[in-house]
Chains A and B, each alone.
Chain A
């Protein structure tokens, strides 16, 4: 009888403990998920205004500009359909280049994307998958809009 009681306490504590932990983990998980949006989606207003998210695409050629402090950068990210202005304070990664793929994480502030993280991967020919998918989606959308020009593009 006594051992059975003990076992029940054991199991009860374990179940409650696991339940609490699982809730905490899933809660933390949900509130820290970072979703990805393409510039087209952001322009359409699909991106959240109250939480951080990621955008990806190409750094538009000729768009990079630095403030006199040398560490604040402004550039535009494009999926070749829409562009989003981005501000970032910090040193840009080695492989950040105009015309190349980029992924940035941050928040939208008056339709300017304020990035707290800029990612460009460590391989010259490597395109971040998010950036590649943004370009692909935009290209698809354009195809369905203007089918006759598809061949020339």
Chain B
């Protein structure tokens, strides 16, 4: 009964999405207030029905309704309750439902927080989001119905052990908040193209939404990286796996979009470019969602393969991306050019930022899609590994980070180069000197370490210069200004983490008998054997490693090797002692003869900085959103203008 209710709610939501997607759009074009006013109630009602459907699916999982195919495939009666709930979005079908739910959430947020916007603008934005939602609901009902029934099964085949982790509770929803959040920027861009009104106030309206989505995506990617680090048992934090690349690409374009929007708002330039980036960020979000969820990739996240889905997805992508680019091609020429700027100006710095970010995106796209294309065309199987991405990424990102120090200090329109150079020379000299000498105190001197420190110190120094000169002028609080600098400091922190762990990490794989010790970077690990453990839906072996440093105890770690009973899948659960300057990472390999085990023992310096930096970036974004000028009403702005 409950699954049928959910199915029915989805059908109603589909119809409402159609209403929401068409009537307000027609109303805005004909200036018909009655049709325009349909937008908000339709969007809210659609969200309500999607939420009901989601609730029904969650209920089916929580009550172990094994007559629902989706539940049978992805749950088990002995799965802990919290994971039964998260299994709701553990499957392809469920994740599509989560996507649509979050789209509804963003749409409702737009209807609530846009009182200061013209009604026809809101109507267009809500309509475009309704059309996207219509596409997803149709996709679900036609090819991926989460409520499909089947003859009652005895029990389920359990959730993939990788997904039985607290990370599963937060990572997918937050990541989707980011992906789907770009639909707001996309809808604003399409609305602007349709209405032909693309000005500074348009940029001001779409900035906070874009920054919010970007902040969520940043945290989502950071959680994915951390999850992979402790859950996959290899201690890596980024694998250049297609699934990771799929989330990185919209992030890179989204980052470019944030910066380009700043130019459009402040100077009226880059308008067409900004619209193009908004379309690009959302298109890559869609591509990412489908790449990961359709089973195209031979990867952890790909659960099923189904050609009908593939066809629908291709058509859907074609309609959304092709349609919006076509509209862009027709309308972009009417947008206008905006203010002029000199060869060296804040605008030109931001332009270089955009070019570098887009080039990086293109390089990632090439490395991710090319193997898929070759395979699809039957031209052989190849893979593109981390060496390619590292070779390409570092030379693109290093100048980007360096310029992000100068950009915020440069004037709009035209920079007085000698003056700027005079302001920066001491900071630059100090950064270079410290960056060259500091690695000697850390052990071996390496050029990459100096480069990493140079970039980080440079950001710290330039942020300090920027903040000091703002304080001297006596300018008051600006959330936008401090948010930007906080996000840039986050980049500096992440760079330190990446630099340190790449240059100085130690990884040892050893055979250990009970009582054996291994020493890694002053830390001595003593293996005290394993004993059996019984979990709710697994059994396994739990090892004990006593860690000491110079004879003083540091920590006791318990890595596990589990076998999940329903699926028979073996699984490695790592044990980590986290620290600000180093992580001690251990994992069990396999039992060898004589009670010995193969054991991984890793020393990972500064690895948590990578994720702390990402959190700072996201906090910077969220701080910037609180800026007062995003909330001033259109009347006030009209009066000021």
Contact = CB atoms under 8 A, between A and B. Distances in A.
Nearest to B512: A70
B162 A122 contact: yes
Given A6-B343, A95-B570, A71 B509 contact: yes
B343 A129 contact: no
Contacts of A34: 382-385
Contacts of A90: 509
A3 B596 CA distance: 75
A24 interface: yes
B592 A32 contact: no
A151 B300 CA distance: 36
A5 to B, nearest CB: 10
A32 B391 contact: yes
Interface stretch (B209-217, B318-326, B359-367, B455-463): B359-367
Contacts of A94: 233, 569-572
B160 A32 contact: no
A85 to B, nearest CB: 20
Nearest to A33: B382
B418 interface: no
A21 B570 contact: no
Contacts of B592: 66, 70
A36 interface: yes
Contacts of B362: 25
A18 B358 CA distance: 11
B395 A24 contact: yes
Contacts of A82: none
Contact of B569 (A3, A18, A124): A124
B298 A29 contact: no
Given A10-B343, A54-B383, A123-B160, A25 B366 contact: yes
A28 B391 contact: yes
A129 B298 contact: yes
A91 B367 contact: no
Interface in A88-146: 89-92, 94-95, 105, 121-124, 128-130, 133
A71 B511 contact: yes
Nearest to A71: B509
- Interface range for A: 35 or more
Interface string A1-43: 0010010011000100110010011001100111110000000
Contacts of A6: 342-343
A50 interface: no
B590 interface: yes
Nearest to A130: B381
Interface string B303-320: 000000000000000000
Contacts of A66: 592
A68 to B, nearest CB: 8
Contacts, number: 100
Given A70-B510, A70-B596, A92 B590 contact: yes
Contacts of A28: 388, 391-392
Given A90-B509, A91-B600, A71 B589 contact: yes
A66 B597 CA distance: 12
Contacts of A35: 380-382
A32 B381 contact: no
A85 B160 CA distance: 32
Nearest to B568: A124
Nearest to A126: B298
A51 to B, nearest CB: 12
A40 to B, nearest CB: 14
Contacts of B565: none
A89 B510 CA distance: 10
Given A24-B392, A25-B363, A28-B388, A36 B589 contact: no
A110 to B, nearest CB: 24
A9 B344 CA distance: 12
A6 B345 CA distance: 13
A33 B572 CA distance: 30
Contacts of B392: 24-25, 28-29
Contacts of B598: 70-71, 91
B388 A121 contact: no
Contacts of A105: 383, 385
Contacts of B596: 70
Interface string B484-516: 000000000000000000000000011100000
A133 B388 contact: no
Contacts of A18: 355, 359
Interface in B569-606: 569-572, 587, 589-590, 592, 596, 598, 600
A103 B502 CA distance: 26
Interface string B459-472: 00000000000000
Interface in B370-422: 370, 375, 380-385, 387-388, 391-392, 395-396
A123 B162 CA distance: 10
B567 interface: yes
Contact of B387 (A9, A10, A14, A32): A32
A95 B569 contact: yes
Contacts of A123: 160, 569
A60 to B, nearest CB: 18
Contacts of B568: 124
A69 B599 CA distance: 12
Nearest to A26: B366
B388 A122 contact: no
Interface in B205-233: 233
Contacts of B391: 28, 32
A122 B300 contact: yes
A91 B509 contact: yes
A6 B414 CA distance: 13
A36 B363 contact: no
B307 to A, nearest CB: 15
B510 A36 contact: no
Contacts of A54: 381, 383
B567 A124 contact: yes
Contacts of B383: 33-34, 36, 54, 105
27 contacts: A6-B343, A21-B359, A21-B396, A24-B392, A24-B395, A25-B363, A25-B392, A28-B392, A29-B388, A29-B392, A32-B384, A32-B391, A36-B382, A36-B383, A71-B510, A90-B509, A91-B590, A94-B569, A94-B570, A94-B572, A95-B569, A121-B298, A121-B299, A122-B569, A124-B568, A129-B298, A129-B375
Ranked 5 nearest A-B pairs via Cβ: A70-B511, A32-B388, A91-B589, A36-B381, A28-B391
Interface of B: 160-162, 233, 298-300, 340, 342-343, 355, 359, 362-363, 366-367, 370, 375, 380-385, 387-388, 391-392, 395-396, 509-511, 567-572, 587, 589-590, 592, 596, 598, 600
Given A92-B589, A121-B299, 14 more contacts: A6-B343, A25-B359, A25-B366, A36-B381, A36-B382, A69-B511, A70-B510, A70-B511, A91-B590, A94-B570, A105-B383, A123-B160, A123-B569, A129-B381
